Amino acid sequence: MRLLLALVAGFLLAAPAGAVAIRPPNKKTPAPPPADNLLGTWEVVSLEFNGNKMEGLAAKNYRVTITTGKIISMEMGKPVSESTYKVDHTKQPKLIVSTDIKGPQKGKVAVMIYSLEGDLLKLGATTEAKQPPKGFGAKDCQIVMVFKRQKG
């Protein structure tokens, strides 16, 4: 141990005055995109359950409005539920954790995955909503909803 300390001290003393230790450059982790890119009103484009497309459902009249901190679900123009949410951009796929604060599922927590490509928002969930799916494939994700952002 004394030998190791002597070697380190000798190395430090042998360094020229004013020398700066060479360190690798700081790799800055890019800041996660803000949840602002999710804000807006979204209309259901498609719905899949266990890999099967659901056709002819009232889902075409289903809209979701995402504001800062809240998600409001509307069906036929009437509010159905309201939730608070948090977004986790550090996970792959990205997560949205929502808690219903109004509506028939009040108090229920849902952990969903999502992807956002332009004006298309894809949400995926399992029937055991507290466990996020690993991906959007039918084996991992029982419910897949695709929304399109409403203009204006």
pTM of model > 0.75: no
Residues 6+ apart with CB under 8 A from 19: none
Residue 113, domain CATH: 2.40.128.280
For residue 131, what are the domain limits?
A: 34-149
* Distance from C-alpha of 10 to C-alpha of 85, rounded to nearest angstrom: 57
Q: Would residue 10 count as lying in a domain?
A: no
Domain count, the chain: 1
Q: What is the pLDDT of residue 53?
A: 87
pLDDT one digit per residue (tens) for the chain, 152 residues: 333 333 233 323 333 344 444 555 555 554 445 566 899 999 998 889 888 888 765 555 889 999 999 999 998 889 999 999 999 988 889 999 999 999 898 999 999 999 999 999 999 998 776 778 889 987 888 999 999 999 87
* Distance from C-alpha of 72 to C-alpha of 82, rounded to nearest angstrom: 4
Q: Would residue 42 count as lying in a domain?
A: yes
Q: Would residue 82 count as lying in a domain?
A: yes
